Amino acid sequence: MSLPRTPRMPHLSRRALGGAALSAAAAALLGSGRAVAATSTEETTAKENTTVFRAPAEWEAHSGCVMAWPWDPAVGWGGLLRDVQAEIAGIAREIARFESVLMVAEPGHGDAARTRCGSTVTVIEYPINDCWTRDTGPVFAVDAGKTQKIGLDFRFNGWGEKYPYDKDDLLPVGVCDHLGVQRKAIDMVLEGGAVITDGQGTLITTEECLLHPSRNPSMTRAEIEAALLAAYGASKVVWLPYGLHNDDITNGHVDLVAAYLGPAKILLHTQPDATSPNHARMAANKAVLDNATDARGRRFEIVELHHQPHYRHNGLLVETFSYTNYYETSGSVVVPLSGEPVDTLALAQFRTLFPTREVIGAPARTLGWGGGGVHCVTQHIPKTL
């Protein structure tokens, strides 16, 4: 997601390799002595057919968080690599105060990650391209009794063949193996930041991203919706028209414009300034939610968030920094900070929204330059009994 990047590298599909070969590779890379959990689709079919899984809401209990260590200046970070590493380490340490953090590092870079992140963060080595685990890691789902967990392994194509992804597309294999979680391959391109869920049957996404021709050009809207619902264990998709203006990296990820605060309650980025290109776009999103109901027939309560800094960093005008791109733990909310004065107003609003939790501001100015924020570099692991 960072700019600018080198042309994408040749991609080797995990499906072409086959489940058995990947399992062996994962075991070797992770140094696992147990049977690998990332079994092939054929091996897990019988179990999947008898168990219904759903992707839980982010406010439900976590057992941990998956992150990844940026290491390669050639993917676009250049001279900002140490800056973004500092931001990733800072976010990891703040989350680790409330839940375990698993940091995945490129082989040979684990010691550097351990040194920068500290002893509260667990670091493993597995091949990666970059740090955007919301999009590259597995989306976790649980059964009705929360006694079982699986990792949904969607295809990843570098946000529409834009950036290198040969390693990141394989990240769910290594993560699921390390956690001992069964992996389910989903034959559809999807980034986790493109969808938010209430865990109660409702998904929210954007047409701009999911219907973009660079993702699943052979699938119709109805087919994309059906695949999403089946994978997430949901029953309704609410389609917002737009992401943020000039989000040409993710093509309109929903986590840059909206977040679930609770059942049928949405934090929505809106822009009252009529001269802003986001004014009409965000108004169109709000109109959809104003006239929609969720899977349980509830009308949405919308909390508007107007704050959105624009700033120059490393010669680039950053226009897609977003405070809706936060991470929620059981005791805290980690909010990205731009280093601009409006951060103070955003933090004050979050304190009113989460009065029983510690609101933590995490520097993310360089991550914003790279196209994302706190939510983009974290993937929550739901807790099972």
Show the tokens assigned to 64: 């941990």
Q: What amino acid occupies position 144?
A: A
C-alpha–C-alpha distance, residues 309 and 261, integer Å: 22
1 close to 373: Cβ distance less than 8 angstroms: no
CA 302, distance to chain mean position in Å, is: 22
Beta bridge partners of 328: 333
Active-site residue identified among 65, 176, 209, 376: 376
**Which residues does residue 64 pair with via DSSP β-bridges, in sequence order?**
100, 381
Alpha-carbon span 117 to 110, nearest angstrom: 10
SS3 284: helix
CB atoms within 10 A of CB 307: 19
In eight-state DSSP terms, residue 168 is G
DSSP 131-149: S-HHHHSPEEEEETTS--E
The closest alpha carbon to 308, from 351, 245, 356, 252, belongs to 245
- Residues near 341 by beta carbon (within 8 Å), at least 6 away in sequence: none
209 is catalytic: no
State the Cα–Cα distance between residues 42 and 183, nearest whole angstrom. 12
Please list the active-site residues: 376
